[in-house]
Amino acid sequence: MNILLLTQVVPYPPDSGPKVKTYYLLRHLAAQHRVTLVTFTRNAQEEADANALRSICAAVHTVNLKRSRLRDAAALLSSLTTRRPFIIERDDSMAMHQLLRRLEAEAATAGQPFDLVHADQLNMAQFAEPLSLPRLLDQHNAVWTILERLAEQSSGPKSWFLQREKRLLQRYEGRVCAEFEAVTAVSEEDRQALLQVMPSQRDIPVIPIAVDAEQEQPIPREPSAQSILSLATMMWPPNVDGVCWFARQIYPLVRRVVPDTHFYVCGQRPTAEVRALSASDSSIEVTGYVDDPRPYIARSACLVVPLRSGGGMRVKILEALARGIPVVSTTIGCEGIDVTPGQHLLVADTPSDFADAVTLLLCDPEFGAALAAAGRQRILERYDWRAVCPAMDGVYARIVGSHAETPAQERTQSTSLRMTG
């Protein structure tokens, strides 16, 4: 098939959750189909990263996405007028719309029309919507639930904004999921959340996020590893909230029992709130982005995922278990992953319980090693990309087959409604 793939971030290198999910899917798709990748970039490094994907894609096209406080303010004002979610208005781009219309026309003229457009994440649905192609929306999460959970942790004007954004997303996400020819989710929890806001019910296949579990080898940890590790993008609000909650309410409880422990916060673009953690406690090190996390894993007794909001699946858990490091997570953190608490990882939702779980791993490395071994085996069995990603081929076949059975006149009318609606 000839596939038009739209991504909000360049899916390379696979060093964050969204990039990992899309990169391994792209590797599978490129081996089976002709893939044209169209992606936003934000700087010269991302342009170089996009160029690296030309070796597996039929073509790669980029559009520069500019962000600033002034542009965000304009997007917020537009959202107040249009009642579209702020995050959708913020990422709207006339240049992206124009590029996609041109690519669709050129492919048809050349006798190689696209068979379908694959929108990766909700932000990209608005660009697939007007095209006269079968449309698939690949949902990394049910976005409205992220806003709902963040609102529950907030107060004042921030809570009002998040509640409003949640309501707008419920309407927008539900409508788009109902109108696209196909939608996929990464977990049963996300599937149910999407069905909850859709005006009409439909089949939503669950295709979990996958990693390169076969290639990823366990990282030997130092016998006296006494550190605690967080690996996450540190500008994403749920990650910021979780790490700050851990550092302020859980970590002090751990230090009462294990006073020599150290907390590494690794991840790109840490906010000012996250950077301030190391200023208030010298045993907390905020590293920013690290090219190679292996030295930090080797020095750590566990990886913590203290999420109190979020959606989808946490790739950081899949990768940590594949690398052989024990994980302590909240229930929300490991949501959507087929693991058993106490067998594959530890799960705790209160500061005291979370601190007890971390302390156990710091004080009992043999238990941690057994837990990590069981977790890695689970990932090998369920979440390697070679076993997971072929499910997308079946979704593609159903979309294209259904489209071929639809009369041309009906397809033309549908496209016209998309353009004018």
The domains found in the chain, sorted by start residue, are 2-210+385-420 (3.40.50.2000), 227-382 (3.40.50.2000)
Query: What's the chain's average pLDDT?
Result: 92
Cis preceding-peptide flag for 13 (omega within 30 of 0): yes
Question: What mean pLDDT do residues 61-67 have?
Answer: 94
Burial class (CB in 10 A: 0-12, 13-18, 19+), 283: middle
Which pLDDT score is estimated for 311?
A: 74
Which pLDDT score is estimated for 407?
A: 53
Structure confidence at residue 414 as a pLDDT band (50, 70, 90): very low
Which pLDDT score is estimated for 420?
A: 42
Structure confidence at residue 415 as a pLDDT band (50, 70, 90): very low
β pairing state of 346-347 and 327-329: parallel
Share of the chain above pLDDT 90, in %: 82
Say how far residue 208 (Cα) sits from the centre of its chain.
Answer: 11
Structure confidence at residue 175 as a pLDDT band (50, 70, 90): very high
Q: Give the C-alpha separation, 285 to 274, whole Å.
A: 10
Nearest C-alpha neighbor of 328 from the set 288, 371, 379, 265: 371
To the nearest 10 degrees (0 to 180), the angle between helices 272-280 and 237-245 is 20
Q: Are 158 and 45 in contact (CB under 8 A)?
A: no
